[in-house]
Amino acid sequence: MKKLLVISVTLVGLALTLCVPVHAQQQVRIIPAGNTPLVPAHLVNGPVPKLADGTVDLTGPWQGGGSNQDIEREGGLKPGELPLLPWAKALRDKRKERDEPYVACLPMSVPRMNPFPWKFAMSYTAKGLTHIYVLHELGDAGAHRVVYMDGRKHPDDFIPTWWGHSIGQLNGNTLVIDTVGYNDKFWFDSRGTPHTEQLHTIERWTRINYGTLVNDFTLDDPGAFSRPVQLKFTANLIRQDLELMEFICAENNQAGIAGGFQLNNEQR
């Protein structure tokens, strides 16, 4: 069944990518859209651009580079390979997609990426590069994810938050981000993979060529996983004339009406 679906999708996709000139007087181009337009394929393998100070330019904007529907599959593991503890596996299997906080316009957090663009925004002061902001068109719900680049350590004590506390450093073409202090409210994917406040993530973002950014991701959460796990995600450079646009998720979120369910109080 799945094979038939894949074939059908491929055929539909192929059919829709072809230009369909009806005749010269009535030409209509059918353009496959879907997600954010990416840079043309022939540019992807170009050299990694540098900033004026010689360091790698990680700006983007990018699409992808994280989980969305299933962190296990999208992170490069086979079904069942994600070392979830039994309670976490049971919770994941019980959860319903419609109950994900993201559906209620709450933050998607790490390492979730939806099909909308995002970028690293470098912030300089007289002391140099002190902060990197990760700006998502959608999914940060009005927060700003900040990575402290000034050499500070994590605080000893904190209130758990949706995006946690991130410290980072640049090693050549790789930005290493170490994060703790997450709350347990967001889901890793629409499938419902859970975590606890013990979550500690390490992202190693490497721009391997002009159009590609790899996220080597370490997930370490002894509260929900039996051991740390290594995942890998890839982000793609979007077409360079495009900018992040305004996206106010809460302005007209009608999720639940067609399906006859209401977003619960915790999600609102």
User: Is residue 31 a contact point for other proteins (CB under 8 A)?
Assistant: yes
User: Is residue 232 a contact point for other proteins (CB under 8 A)?
Assistant: no
User: Is residue 32 a contact point for other proteins (CB under 8 A)?
Assistant: yes
Token pair, residue 142, equals 């009005």
Question: CA 201 to CA 190: how far, in whole Å?
Answer: 19
Binders of other proteins among residues 69 to 128 (CB under 8 A) are 69, 74, 96-98, 100, 102-103, 105, 113-116
Confirm if 167 and 155 have CB atoms less than 8 A apart.
no
HSE (side-chain half, CA atoms, 13 Å) at 79: 1
Site residue total, other proteins (CB under 8 A)? 59
User: Is residue 14 a contact point for other proteins (CB under 8 A)?
Assistant: no
User: Is residue 11 a contact point for other proteins (CB under 8 A)?
Assistant: no
* Closer residue to other proteins in complex, CB, 158/247: 247
Confirm if 99 and 44 have CB atoms less than 8 A apart.
no
Least CB distance to other proteins at residue 130 (A):
31
User: Is residue 158 a contact point for other proteins (CB under 8 A)?
Assistant: no
User: Is residue 265 a contact point for other proteins (CB under 8 A)?
Assistant: no
User: Is residue 8 a contact point for other proteins (CB under 8 A)?
Assistant: yes
Distances 229 to 11, 189, 259 between C-alpha atoms, Å = 36, 16, 36
Kindly state the greatest CA–CA separation across the chain.
70
Token pair, residue 105, equals 């316009």
* Closer residue to other proteins in complex, CB, 29/42: 29
Confirm if 201 and 218 have CB atoms less than 8 A apart.
yes
Token pair, residue 241, equals 């004339």
Distances 94 to 1, 98, 166 between C-alpha atoms, Å = 24, 12, 31
User: Is residue 25 a contact point for other proteins (CB under 8 A)?
Assistant: yes
DSSP letter at 235 equals E
User: Is residue 16 a contact point for other proteins (CB under 8 A)?
Assistant: yes
Question: Which residue in 188, 175, 174 sits closest to 219, CA to CA?
Answer: 188
Least CB distance to other proteins at residue 69 (A):
8
Least CB distance to other proteins at residue 181 (A):
26
How many C-beta neighbours within 10 Å does residue 264 have? 10
Choice from 82, 107, 137, 193 touching other proteins (CB under 8 A): 137
Residue type for 5, please?
L
Compose the 233-262 pattern: x for residues touching other proteins by CB under 8 A, - for all others.
---------x--xxxxx-xxxxxxxxxxx-
Footprint on this chain of other proteins (rule: CB under 8 A): 2, 5-6, 8-9, 12-13, 16, 22, 24-37, 63-64, 68-69, 74, 96-98, 100, 102-103, 105, 113-116, 137-138, 190, 242, 245-249, 251-261
